[in-house]
């Protein structure tokens, strides 16, 4: 169900054209009255593909066993609904609410750890009922890389600042693993990083720490004591440029407090933990925002952090609509998610008001199957008369692939 006859060919052809990944120029698909700009990088990343592969293989190889996911495999409703149709049950909601008590499971049951990873506490609860939490572990390797780097710093008595959404599954997992060896605090954005920085350099009272961060820090965290040595790690789906800004804000504060000459003894360089796929997708989206598109469509789950960041990048340039799938579209109106109001909205005449050809920037989040992007593209083509045949538009990409194979 995840094979894509259109987008897959575009992606594979651009890999051949740009094997060194240096060209961020979007691909133009000219269908006559409507054009689509397709970014260089988008959609499934390695971690997501790996997680889905393990999950489906587990279901296929264990037809007679109870199979559970700790929570959503990835933040895409199509994938999660399909797994549920195959009999997989969720133990937790995305907010951590328990659906099925772990104590009701037994050692013959299978539990799949999702791509976000899980907490040490949940790992121990699974072990108590005889289930190995690592047997069907789909935790993204880049999430695990963040944990390993944090552990390395913890052994050197560094505290950790996590750039992330403290209620997100990945950040909850990262916090748990980090708190096992370090003092930890979570910051959401550069604004919160500035508050923490001001506390560190004592331009804000220490009492402000409890006000802004007390609910998302290890007990008794004291920035004046615990941030003598610290590093910044992140939720891998956050804006990479924001993580770098958070790092710079806190690094500057450390320089003010401890001096520039000894900064390496106080602030750890953790830029190597930034997820390459997130960074590539966001860089390609920035290039997409530089096109002359009339509007943008971002396909992905409404609780997908990385998808929402793509919307955030594009909406500064042109009208941008976040949709789950083609079911949100009609010729006269579009249903789309507004992440700022956290509500579904309806926009009428979303395809009107532009001279032809209408130019649409089309992309998707890292947890969105390419086939859903295909379906959105094909749905839009039905709203226009005189469009070119898909095979005609895709032919140059197929020729490139055939040449490579030859």
Same domain, 87 and 20: no
Instruction: Name, in order, each residue with C-beta under 8 angstroms of 29's C-beta and a sequence gap of 6 or more.
Output: 10, 35, 36, 37, 38, 377, 393
Render pLDDT for 22-69 as a digit per residue (tens, 0 to 9).
899 999 999 999 999 999 999 888 888 888 899 999 999 999 999 999
pLDDT at 208 over 90: yes
Q: Which of 75-84, 108-117, 334-343 has the lowest mean pLDDT?
A: 75-84
Task: Tell me the pLDDT of the chain averaged across its residues.
Answer: 93
**pTM score:** 0.87
CA torsion sign, 381 to 325 to 21 to 294? positive
Render pLDDT for 2-18 as a digit per residue (tens, 0 to 9).
668 899 999 999 989 88
Of 76, 102, 128, the residue that ends a domain is 128
Of 242, 257, 274, the residue that ends a domain is 274
Residue 2 domain-assigned (yes or no): no
CATH number, position 96: 3.40.50.11270
Residue 134 domain-assigned (yes or no): no
Average pLDDT value for residue range 224-243: 94
The whole-number pLDDT of residue 72 equals 82
Same domain, 171 and 268: yes
**What percentage of residues in the chain have a pLDDT greater than 90?**
78
Residue 133 domain-assigned (yes or no): no
Same domain, 35 and 107: no
φ, ψ dihedrals at 344, nearest 5°: -80, 140
The count of domains in the chain is: 3
Token pair, residue 247, equals: 């790092």
Same domain, 147 and 268: yes
Same domain, 392 and 303: yes
The whole-number pLDDT of residue 305 equals 87
Residue 160 domain-assigned (yes or no): yes
CATH number, position 186: 3.40.1010.20
Average pLDDT value for residue range 125-131: 96
More confident residue, 175 or 368: 175
What pLDDT band is residue 353 in, cutting at 50, 70 and 90?
Answer: low
Average pLDDT value for residue range 320-347: 97
Q: Which position has the token pair 């549920």?
A: 84
Q: Distance between CA atoms of 384 and 363, rounded to whole angstroms?
A: 20
Residue 245 domain-assigned (yes or no): yes
What pLDDT band is residue 330 in, cutting at 50, 70 and 90?
Answer: very high
The whole-number pLDDT of residue 78 equals 85
Residue 334 domain-assigned (yes or no): yes
Same domain, 315 and 331: yes
Residue 170 domain-assigned (yes or no): yes
The whole-number pLDDT of residue 310 equals 96
Q: Distance between CA atoms of 137 and 95, rounded to whole angstroms?
A: 20
Same domain, 110 and 191: no
| Residue 375 annotated to the active site | no
Catalytic-role residue among 72, 169, 170, 280: 170
Same domain, 58 and 170: no
Average pLDDT value for residue range 123-135: 94
Residue 25 domain-assigned (yes or no): yes
Same domain, 270 and 304: no
The whole-number pLDDT of residue 2 equals 64
Same domain, 121 and 157: no
What pLDDT band is residue 1 in, cutting at 50, 70 and 90?
Answer: low
Of 95, 128, 161, the residue that ends a domain is 128
Q: Which domain holds residue 346?
A: 7-44+277-405
Average pLDDT value for residue range 164-190: 97
What pLDDT band is residue 272 in, cutting at 50, 70 and 90?
Answer: confident
Same domain, 26 and 109: no
Same domain, 57 and 38: no
């Amino acid at each position: 169900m995840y094979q894509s006859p259109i987008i897959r060919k575009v992606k594979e052809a651009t890999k051949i054209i740009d094997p060194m990944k240096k060209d961020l120029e979007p691909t133009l698909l000219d269908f006559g009255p409507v054009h689509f700009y397709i970014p260089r990088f988008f959609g499934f990343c390695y971690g997501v593909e790996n997680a889905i592969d393990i999950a489906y293989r587990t279901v296929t190889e264990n037809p007679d066993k109870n199979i559970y996911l700790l929570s959503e495999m990835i933040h895409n409703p199509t994938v999660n609904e399909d797994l549920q149709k195959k009999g997989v049950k969720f133990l937790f909601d995305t907010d951590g609410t328990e659906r099925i008590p772990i104590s009701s499971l037994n050692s013959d049951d299978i539990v799949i750890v999702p791509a976000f990873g899980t907490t040490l506490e949940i790992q121990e609860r699974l072990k108590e009922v005889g289930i190995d939490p690592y047997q069907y572990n789909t935790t993204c390797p880049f999430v695990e890389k963040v944990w390993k780097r944090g552990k390395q710093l913890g052994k050197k008595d560094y505290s950790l600042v996590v750039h992330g959404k403290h209620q997100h599954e990945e950040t909850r997992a990262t916090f748990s693993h980090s708190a096992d060896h370090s003092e930890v605090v979570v910051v959401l954005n550069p604004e919160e990083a500035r508050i923490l920085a001001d506390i560190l350099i004592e331009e804000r009272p220490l009492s402000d720490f409890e006000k802004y961060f007390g609910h998302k820090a290890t007990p008794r965290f004291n920035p004046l004591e615990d941030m003598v040595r610290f590093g910044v790690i992140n939720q891998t789906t956050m804006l990479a440029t924001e993580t770098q800004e958070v790092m710079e804000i806190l690094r500057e504060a450390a320089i003010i407090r401890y001096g520039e000459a000894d900064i390496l003894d106080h602030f750890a360089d953790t830029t190597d933990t930034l997820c390459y796929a997130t960074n590539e997708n966001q860089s390609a989206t920035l290039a997409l925002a530089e096109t002359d598109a009339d509007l943008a469509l971002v396909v992905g789950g409404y609780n997908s952090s990385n998808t929402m960041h793509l919307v955030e990048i594009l909406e500064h340039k042109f009208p941008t609509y976040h949709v789950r799938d083609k079911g949100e579209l009609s010729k006269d109106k579009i249903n789309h998610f507004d992440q700022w109001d956290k509500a579904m909205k309806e926009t009428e005449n979303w395809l009107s008001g532009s001279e032809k050809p209408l130019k649409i920037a089309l992309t998707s989040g890292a947890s969105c199957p390419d086939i859903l992007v295909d379906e959105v593209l094909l749905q839009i083509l039905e709203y226009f008369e005189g469009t070119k045949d898909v095979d005609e538009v895709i032919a140059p990409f197929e020729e490139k692939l055939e040449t490579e194979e030859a």
